Amino acid sequence: MTTVDIAFLLNGRPVSLSVEPRLLLSDALRHHLGMTSTHVGCEQGVCGVCTILLDGAPARSCLMLAVMADGRSVTTAEGLSDPLAEQLRDSFQEHHALQCGFCTPAMLLTAHCLLSAHPEAGESQIREALSGNLCRCTGYQFIIDAVSSLTERGGEGDASHG
Amino acid sequence: MAEEFASAPHFVGARIPRTEDSRLLRGEAQYLDDIQIPNLLEMAFVRSPYAAARILSVDSSAAWNIPGVRAVFTFADMPFVLPQNGPSPIDQPVLARERVRHAGEAVVAVVAESRYIAEDACEAVHVAYTPEEPVLDMQAAQKDRPRRVHDAAPNVFYHQEYETEGFQAAFDTAPHRLTMTFQTTRQTACSLETRGIIAAADPFSGRMTVYCGTQSPHRLRGDLAEMLQMEEHLLRVIVPEVGGAFGMKAATYPEYLAVVQAARLLRQPVKWTADRVESFLSDVHARDDIHDLEVAFDQRGQIIAVKDHLMADGGAYASYPFSGAIGETSLAAKVITGPYDIAHLSTVIDCTYSNKVPLGAYRGVWGPVASFVQEGMVDRIAQFLHLDAAEVRRTNLVQPNQLPYRNAAGMLYDSGSFTESFEHALAQLDYTRWRATQEQARRVGKYLGIGLSNFVEPTAMASSEAGSIGYESCSVRVEPSGTVTAWLGLGPSGQGHETTMAQVLADQLGVDLEHIVVLHGDTDAAPLGGGTGGSRSGPLGGGAAMQAGRKMRERLDVYAAHMLEAAVEDIAWEHGRAHVRGVYARHVSLRDIARIAYNDVRQIPSGLPIGLEVTERYQPPRPVSFSNGTHAAVVEVNPSTGQVTVLDYVVVNDCGTLINPLIVEGQIHGGVAQGVGAALLESLVYDDSGQLLTTTLMDYLLPSAPLVPRMRIEHLVTPSDGALGVKGMGEGSLIASPAAIAGAVNDALSPWGVSFERLPIAPRDIVTSLGRSSAAPV
Amino acid sequence: MKPAHFEYFRAATIGEAVDKLGGDPEARLLAGGQSLIPAMNFRVARPSQLIDINGLEELKPLVARLPENILEVGALVRHQQIATSPLVQRYLPFMATVALSIGHWAIRSRGSVGGSLCHADPAAEWPAFMVAAGAEMVVAGPQKYRRIPADTFCSGFMETALGPGEMLVKIEIPLAQGGWGFWEVARRPGDFALAGAVCRRHHSRTTVTWFGADLSGPGTVTVESEGGAGHGTHFWEDAASRVLAVDDDYMLQILGYCADQACRQAQSDEGRDYDNR
C-alpha cells in the first residue's frame, strides 16, 4: 500500500504522519491523532458534526482527504482555547445549548468563527451560519440563545426570526 | 408535595446547568466510536440489495484474499436469532438465513483490520439471489397479497378489536358523521450518532465487555446472554456517551449479536459502527400508520363516537423486544380520544409484515399519529359545522371536575390541566389577534394558518421500548470522605440524568450538588434497572433516587442525632452538615459521619450496619401517569411554492413537578423541532421494487436551524401522586407538534377547502392540491 | 462509506495536471472535493487516480481587469471567497449574493467555483449565473488553451464541453451593467435548489436563466420588454414550459415563481450605481 507523508499544524502543534491517500481527514483526526471531538455523522457533508477549522475557516473533515491537510492548519474543538472559546463553553452550559453533545464540538467551532467574523450577528444570521450544523436534540433555540448572548447586542434587538 | 423532600428543596425545581456539559464542551466525552482498544477489528456487512429474494449462494473467496481481512461470516457461522413471542412467532436471524426480507438486511459479516478494508472485502463477496415479489402495501398485505412475507405465518401478526358498550346505537343515531383517512409515512429517529457496538474480552477477568450506545443496558446484557447462550454474569455492558437515541437505540439489533459472537469466535476485540446509509437501512423505522376513521358528532361539534381501523406496517420482522407496529397501534387505540371527552369508541387493529425495515420505536411512538388523528378530526368537524376550531375543542375537552377520568378505551387519566392548558395556550398565542391578522393577510394574498393541538402523554408505564421493568433502582454510597456516589440503571442519551438525579439526591441528603456524582450505564455497577424510554426516567428514576436518598438520609439522621445527642426529629441538614434544628453551632459533617461508618465502626449507633450504602427500588403507585398540554402554531404557506414558514409557536406543558425547568424546556424544544420534521420534511420513501430511496441526509431531511421556530413555553404544574409529583415528559412535544403544524397548514389552506390527512406535507403536495391557482378562490 | 483505493498525485503545474489527466481516462481532478469526495465515500465515484490541483496558484486569482471590464475568477476560488471578497462586493456584488446561497458555510469555504462548474450539477447556481453573465471559460488542454462560452460549457446532465485531458483554469466574467435578481426554492436553506432563476435586466432587455428542475443544464429565456417586472408568475411559467424540457407542473410553477421573484429584484436593482460604471 503506497502511503503519503503529510505534516500539518493540529491545534497549533506540528504533527506528521504517513497515510493512505484514501484516508479521510475525519478518520485521520479521530483514529490516528486522537482528536475524537471531530465526530462523524454522515460522511456526506450534510450533518456538520465533523466540522473543523481549516486555516481558520469551517470545513467538513469528512469531505477532505487527510493528504489535503498537508501544510495547512487544522483546529478541532480540543484546540479551541482562546477567551471567546471559554465564553462560548460557559454560555452553552448556562443556556443548556447541548443535550447529547454529539453536534456540540462542531457547533462551537462554527459559532466561534461566526462571532469572530461577525460579533454584531443577529438571530437570523446566527441561524443561517449554523444551518449546516444539524442538531437532533435541542431544537436549536438554546444554541441560538447561547451564541446571541455573546454578540455585541447580547441577544437583544433581533426578534426578526420566527 | 413539600413533604416529599427530606430537606427544603433547594435543587428540585431549579434551573440548574448540567454537570454533564463540561466533558462534552471540551470534546473529552467518549462516544462508542471514540473508544480505543488495542487490536480492535472492525466489522462491515454485506447487505441485501433486494427487498425479497432467495439466497442461492455466497462466494467469499475473493474477500478472504484481501490483506487485512480476518473473517467472513454467514448465518451458518453464527446461527442465532432474535426471538419473537406471540401467536405466530417469526424469529429474526442475525444474518439472513436462506431468504432476505428487506433491502439492507445483513447477509454476510466481514471482519477486517480497518473499516476501509472491511468495505473493500464486502464488495468482493458475491451473493447470488433469486428476487421474489416484494410485499410493500400494508392494506394488500392484510389479505396476504401479493404473498406472505414469511411462509410460516400470515402477514397480519397482530389483530385486536375493541368496542364500548352501546357504541353502534350511539354512532348510528348521531346527527352527523364524517369519514377520513389519516396517514403518516415512515420516519425514523435518525440520531446524529449512528448505532455501534464493541465487544472485547476483559483481559483481567476473561469476561466479555460490551460497549454499546443502548438505552437499556441491563436488558441488552440479558438479551445477549439469552440469545447467544452466554452466562449473564460473564457479560458486562457499558454504555458510553450516547449521541442521541430517541427510542431507536432501545432495540436489540442483529448486528449486536454478530459483533459479540465474532469477538468470541476470533478471540479479539471487534467493533461495528453504522455508516449513515446502514442507519437508514437497519435502524428501526417508525410511524407508517393508516387510520381509517369515522366520527359521529352533534350540531355543537360534541363528539359522540369514534370508529377507527388502525393499521401499521411492521416491516420484515417484529423488532426486538418492541414491535413498533404494535406500539404505534395498540397504544394509539388507548388514547385516540386524547384529552377529549368522547363516550364511545370502536377500534380494530391490524399490524402486518412487509418487505421493509422492521418498525420500532421513535420518540412518542403511537403519539404523533394519534394526536394528528384526534386534532385533525376536531378540525374537520369545526370546518363541517362552520364553527371556530378553538370553540369545538372547548366543547369536547375533559373538564376539571371529571378528573380522574377514564377514557373510552379504559385508560385512567390520573390528573391533568386540559382546559387550563388550552386556555393558557390561546392567551399566550393571542389567538384572537392572530385570527384577525390571518383575515387581513388573506386580503393581500398571504395565507396564514393557526394549528391547535391538545395532547395527553402516558408516562412512566410499566412497559416501554426500553423493556418491561415497571420500577427503577438507585444505589447510593456515601464515600469515606463524605462525598456521594449514586448509580442508576438508566440509559440516558442527552436527557441530563446526571444532573436531575443529583438534584433529587441533593435535596434528600442535604448536600450540595458538587458533592454528588451520578453514574449509569455500567451493568457491573448500576443496580438492575429498566433503562431510558417511554418517558420513564424522570418519574421512575427520580422516584428511585428519592427513595434511596431518603433511606440514606434516615440512617444519617440517626448518626447525627447520636453524635449531637439530640432527637432524630430535630436534625436538619444543609450543605453536607447536620445540625440541631435552630442551633447551627451544634453540627456534624457528612464526612465526620462517614469516618465513623467506615473507619471508627465501634462508634456506629447501635442497630446500624457498617458503611453507608443503600439500594432502593421504586415502583410508582399507578401503572401510568398522564402529562398533558397544548401546542399552538402559526404558519404561513406560500401557495406558489408550497413552502411553509412557522411564524409563532406556543407550548403550555404540564408534567407535574419540574425537577429542572431548563432541561424540561430543552426536551420540549427538541421535540417540537422533530415535529417540524415529522409534519413537513421527514419521510422514508420506498419505490415499487422495495428499494429505500431515502438513504442519505440529502434525502431524509432533518430540520435545520433556520426552519425551527422560536418557541414560547409556559409550565403548568399538576403533580402526580407518585414520587415528588413528577410525571414523564420526554415525548409530549413530539406527540403534539406534528398535529399543531399540520393543523396550521390546513387552516392556511382552508380557502381552497384543502385538508391534508397525510404526514409529512411536502411543498409539492401543497402546490399540487391547490390546482393551477396560487390565489385562493373567492 | 469509505473511498475505494486510488493513486494520488499532487500536481505542481497546470501542465503536469493536464498531462496526468490526459494519460488516464479514469483519473479525476481534485479541487475542493465537496461533490467528488462524498461520491467517493459512497463508492459511486471510483477514480483510478486523483490529481490534486489545490496547490496550483495559477488557479487562484480573483482580480478585476478593469481595462477589459472583466472579473477574472480562478477555477480554485472558493465560494466563500466570492461571498466575502471586497473586490467582488465592489465590482459584481450580485455574484456574492449567489455565492452565499450555495450550501452551507463549511461547504462554501472548500467548494470551488471551477469545481462546481465542472461537476455541472443541474441544481447548481454557478452554471446558471455564468450563462446569465455571459462568462467565458478558459480551459487548458493537452496542446493548447481554448475558450468556451458559458452557455455551451454545461452540455448536459452533469456533462461539460471539456474534452479528454482538459481542465478549467479560470472564468472571465464581464462586469455587466444592469440589474440582477436571483431566487431559488429549496426544501431547506442551503440544500440543492429544486429550481431557481437568475434574472438580468439591462435597458429593455430581461434575461432569465433557470437552473434545477432536473434540467440538463441552465436554460435561458430572453424577453425584450419595456414594461416593468410585471410579467408575473404565469408568464414565466409559460415561457419555461416552451423553452425547457420540463413537463412537471410543480416544477414549472416554481420555475415561474423564481423567475418572477428574480425579475422583481432585478428591476429594483437596476437603478443601483456600481463603481464600475
Q: Tens digit of pLDDT for each residue in C6-19? A: 999 999 999 999 99
Q: Residue B340: pLDDT band by 50, 70, 90 thresholds?
A: very high
C60 touches chain A (CB under 8 A): no
pLDDT of residue B2: 38
Cβ proximity of C113 and C69 under 8 Å: no
Q: Is residue A38 domain-shared with residue A65, that is, in the same domain?
A: yes
User: Per the CB < 8 Å rule, is A63 touching C110?
Assistant: yes
Domain count, chain A: 2
Cβ proximity of B479 and B511 under 8 Å: no
Q: At what angle do helices A141-148 and A104-117 cross, to 10 degrees?
A: 40
- Tell whether A140 is covered by a domain: yes
- Tell whether A161 is covered by a domain: no
Cβ proximity of B110 and B662 under 8 Å: no
State the cell numbers at B75: 448465518
User: Which of B243, B239, B238 has its CA nearest to residue B189?
Assistant: B243
- Boundary (domain end) residue, out of A22, A46, A76: A76
State the cell numbers at B674: 422533530
User: Per the CB < 8 Å rule, is C110 touching A64?
Assistant: yes
Percent with pLDDT over 70 in chain C: 96
Q: Please report, as a single letter, which amino acid is at residue A84.
A: L
- d(CA B71, CA B664) in angstroms, rounded, equals 47
B29 touches chain C (CB under 8 A): no
> Hey, do C7-52 and C179-270 end up sharing a CATH topology, with the first three levels equal?
no
Percent with pLDDT over 70 in chain A: 94
State the cell numbers at A79: 484546540
Burial A66-92 (b: 16+ CB within 10 A, else e): bbbbbebbbbbbbbbeeeebeebbbbb
Cβ proximity of B363 and B734 under 8 Å: yes
C103 touches chain A (CB under 8 A): yes
Give the list of residues 6+ apart from residue B292 with CB closer than 8 angstroms, or none.
Answer: B181, B308, B309, B311
For residue B466, the number of C-alpha atoms closer than 13 Å in the C-beta half-sphere is 34
DSSP state of B678: I
State the cell numbers at B475: 444505589
- Tell whether A157 is covered by a domain: no
Cβ proximity of C185 and C259 under 8 Å: no
**Domain ranges for chain C:** 7-52, 59-174, 179-270
B506 burial (CB, 10 Å; 0-12 / 13-18 / 19+) is: buried
A86-C105-A55 Cα angle (round to 5): 60
Q: Is residue A27 domain-shared with residue A47, that is, in the same domain?
A: yes
Residue A160 has pLDDT above 60, yes or no: no
Cβ proximity of A10 and A33 under 8 Å: yes
Q: Is residue A72 domain-shared with residue A124, that is, in the same domain?
A: no
Shortest distance between the Cα of A83 and any Cα of chain C, in A, equals 23
Please state, in angstroms and as integers, the Cα–Cα distance from residue B139 to each residue in A85, B311, B662, B760, following that order.
55, 8, 44, 20
pLDDT of residue B4: 65
Residue found by looking up cell 442527552 in the block = B494
Q: Is residue A66 domain-shared with residue A21, that is, in the same domain?
A: yes
For the domain made up of C7-52, the CATH class stated in words is alpha beta
Please state, in angstroms and as integers, the Cα–Cα distance from residue A84 to each residue in A112, A113, C40, following that order.
7, 10, 37
For the domain made up of C59-174, the CATH class stated in words is alpha beta
pLDDT of residue B87: 66
pLDDT of residue B88: 66
Residue C232 has pLDDT above 80, yes or no: yes
Name the strand (E) or helix (H) holding B442.
Answer: helix B431-443
Domain that residue A46 falls in:
4-76
pLDDT of residue C229: 59
Please state, in angstroms and as integers, the Cα–Cα distance from residue B563 to each residue in A122, B481, C43, following that order.
59, 17, 72
- Tell whether A52 is covered by a domain: yes
Averaged pLDDT for residues B114-133: 98
pLDDT of residue C203: 80
pLDDT of residue B203: 86
User: Which of B310, B290, B286, B289 has its CA nearest to residue B358?
Assistant: B286
pLDDT of residue C228: 54
Nearest CA in chain B to A32: B36
CATH of range B286-463+622-769; options 3.40.50.300, 3.90.230.10, 3.30.160.100, 3.30.365.10: 3.30.365.10
User: B514: how many CB neighbours lie within 10 A of its CB?
Assistant: 11
What's the complex ipTM? 0.97
pLDDT of residue B778: 57
Residue A1 has pLDDT above 90, yes or no: no
pLDDT of residue C214: 75
Query: B142-178, pLDDT tens digit by residue?
Result: 999 999 999 999 999 999 999 999 999 999 999 999 9
Q: Residue B85: pLDDT band by 50, 70, 90 thresholds?
A: confident
Q: Is residue A37 domain-shared with residue A95, that is, in the same domain?
A: no
> Hey, do B2-22+471-618 and B286-463+622-769 end up sharing a CATH topology, with the first three levels equal?
yes
| Mutation for testing the C interface, residue in B42, B43, B123, B640 having most C CBs under 10 Å | B640
- d(CA B496, CA B242) in angstroms, rounded, equals 12
Query: B574-602, pLDDT tens digit by residue?
Result: 999 999 998 889 999 999 999 999 999 99
Q: Residue C272: pLDDT band by 50, 70, 90 thresholds?
A: low
- d(CA B262, CA B269) in angstroms, rounded, equals 9
pLDDT of residue C275: 44
CATH of range B2-22+471-618; options 3.30.365.10, 3.40.50.720, 3.40.718.10, 3.40.640.10: 3.30.365.10
- d(CA B630, CA B249) in angstroms, rounded, equals 28
Shortest distance between the Cα of C146 and any Cα of chain B, in A, equals 36
pLDDT of residue B469: 86
Q: Is residue A67 domain-shared with residue A24, that is, in the same domain?
A: yes
**Looking at residue A33, which CATH number applies to its domain?**
3.10.20.30
Query: C38-55, pLDDT tens digit by residue?
Result: 999 999 999 999 999 999
A141-A146-A150 Cα angle (round to 5): 140
The closest CB to that of A36, out of B34, B193, B709, belongs to B34
Q: Residue C174: pLDDT band by 50, 70, 90 thresholds?
A: very high
Residue B342 has pLDDT above 90, yes or no: yes
User: Which of B763, B774, B764 has its CA nearest to residue C237?
Assistant: B774
Q: Name the interface residues of A facing C (CB cutoff 8 Å).
A: 2, 4, 20-22, 24, 27, 43-45, 48, 51, 54, 57-60, 62-65, 67-68, 110, 113, 128-129, 131-133
- Residue B320: beta bridge partners? B252
Q: Residue C276: pLDDT band by 50, 70, 90 thresholds?
A: very low
Residue B427 has pLDDT above 80, yes or no: yes
Shortest distance between the Cα of B241 and any Cα of chain C, in A, equals 23
Strands (E), B438-575: 447-459, 472-478, 484-488, 516-520, 571-574
Q: At what angle do helices B431-443 and B418-429 cross, to 10 degrees?
A: 50
Mean pLDDT rounded to a whole number for chain B: 96
The closest CB to that of B697, out of A22, A47, A77, belongs to A47
Averaged pLDDT for residues B54-65: 98
Cβ proximity of B190 and B279 under 8 Å: yes
Q: Is residue A102 domain-shared with residue A127, that is, in the same domain?
A: yes
Query: B691-716, pLDDT tens digit by residue?
Result: 999 999 999 999 999 999 999 999 99
Q: Is residue A89 domain-shared with residue A124, that is, in the same domain?
A: yes
- Phi/psi at B351 (nearest 5 deg)? -110, 135
Averaged pLDDT for residues B627-648: 97
Averaged pLDDT for residues B121-126: 98
**Domain ranges for chain B:** 2-22+471-618, 286-463+622-769
Query: C97-143, pLDDT tens digit by residue?
Result: 999 999 999 999 999 999 999 999 999 999 999 999 999 999 999 98
pLDDT of residue A40: 98
State the cell numbers at B287: 410511524
- d(CA B540, CA B543) in angstroms, rounded, equals 5
For residue C36, the number of C-alpha atoms closer than 13 Å in the C-beta half-sphere is 27
Residue B518 has pLDDT above 80, yes or no: yes
Residue C273 has pLDDT above 70, yes or no: no
pLDDT of residue A161: 42
Q: Residue C277: pLDDT band by 50, 70, 90 thresholds?
A: very low
- Tell whether A155 is covered by a domain: no
Superfamily of segment(s) C179-270: CO dehydrogenase flavoprotein, C-terminal domain (3.30.390.50)
- Tell whether A138 is covered by a domain: yes
